[in-house]
Amino acid sequence: MAQPASNAARPSSAAILLKYGIDVKEALDYGTFQKTCVQIFGTNEVEKHEWRVREVFELFDANADDVLTEQELHRCCNWIREIVNPVNVLLVVDVQNDFIDGTLALRNAGYGQEGTEVIEPINRLLNNGRWNKVIYSQDWHPHNHISFFENLAMRELHSESKQILWPRHCVMNTWGAELHKDLLILSSSERIYKGQHSDKESYSAFEKEADGSSKLEKILSSIGATHIYVCGLAYDVCVKETCLDGLRLGYSITVIDNSCRGVKPDDIIMAKKLIIENGGSVACTDRVLSMVNEGKCSLVMAHRTARIIREKNIL
């Protein structure tokens, strides 16, 4: 099993300048910036996403004079520091009995999706990845939850209600709500229980509590998380909504494609499209392990990081 990632302090701006041969006394033009990106991301990644490199440079170039100087250069170093020393979190969404072998098993939807297929690649991520934190989410519903079609007669729904009704599933403290027996559970991990309020639907692991706070957001903030890798069930429902919420909150999000399964193939395609359009990325298990273990950086995620920093007025 891989060792947990270190939470050591990130290198200073001076250390970043030294590592990449940047002279703070000289203006950094686009050509030099591009060469620095090749050092960080590799030639293939830069050639494939050259437009992203250009846009990142322009984000730093506040006065649009085609060079980075002084404060602009300092901001560039802040960006480099974040992408080469990320705080990586693996978020395992709803790998529960009812979605695999129970009342809402994916295979029973009739679209060829099999929930058990996520267990092996997720266990490989858990065994081999150097994560700063691992978090498992679980649907955790009361028996009278609004989403159960068995409970339709219990409350009057408005004629224009968009509430989707499902078979009763993942009732708290039952076998169906438990994580699958073959899923590896790390002792140092955290749990998120969602959907506990009877009259409220919640697909996202970023579900807010009554006071408006989110337990998941609190955990991520406490460790300074920068990059969230999401896997699990169901791709086109809870995985999708968790990714979109994470992106709205300013995290770099990657959904691990071969470690997810969903309900409908067409909806899975649409989920991936939405995640990408909102600034997220899609990768396979091997690519993710190379990023978190070997320090291989994704220009897609780095581009997103630059935008996030800009939006937070850190640049």
Handedness of CA 146, 151, 157, 159 (dihedral sign): positive
Asked if 94 is an active-site residue, the reply is yes
- Give the position of tokens 């396979």: 284
Q: CA dihedral defined by 17, 280, 286, 227, rounded to 10 degrees?
A: 50
CA dist., res. 240 & res. 273, Å (int): 10
74: helix, coil or strand?
Answer: helix
- Give the position of tokens 């899975």: 268
Beta strands 28-29 and 67-68, pairing class = antiparallel
What percent of the residues of the chain are helix, what percent strand, and what percent coil, each to the nearest 5? 45, 15, 40
As a three-state string, the secondary structure of 120-159 is HHHHHHHHHCCCCEEEEEEECECCCCCCEHHHHHHCCCCC
256: helix, coil or strand?
Answer: strand
CA dist., res. 89 & res. 231, Å (int): 11
Asked if 238 is an active-site residue, the reply is yes
DSSP type of residue 239: I
Q: Catalytic one among 238, 243, 260, 297?
A: 238
- Give the position of tokens 């006071």: 211
Q: Catalytic one among 61, 76, 77, 94?
A: 94
Q: Catalytic one among 37, 133, 139, 194?
A: 194
Radius of gyration of the chain, Cα coordinates, nearest whole angstrom = 21
Q: Annotated active-site positions, please?
A: 94, 194, 238
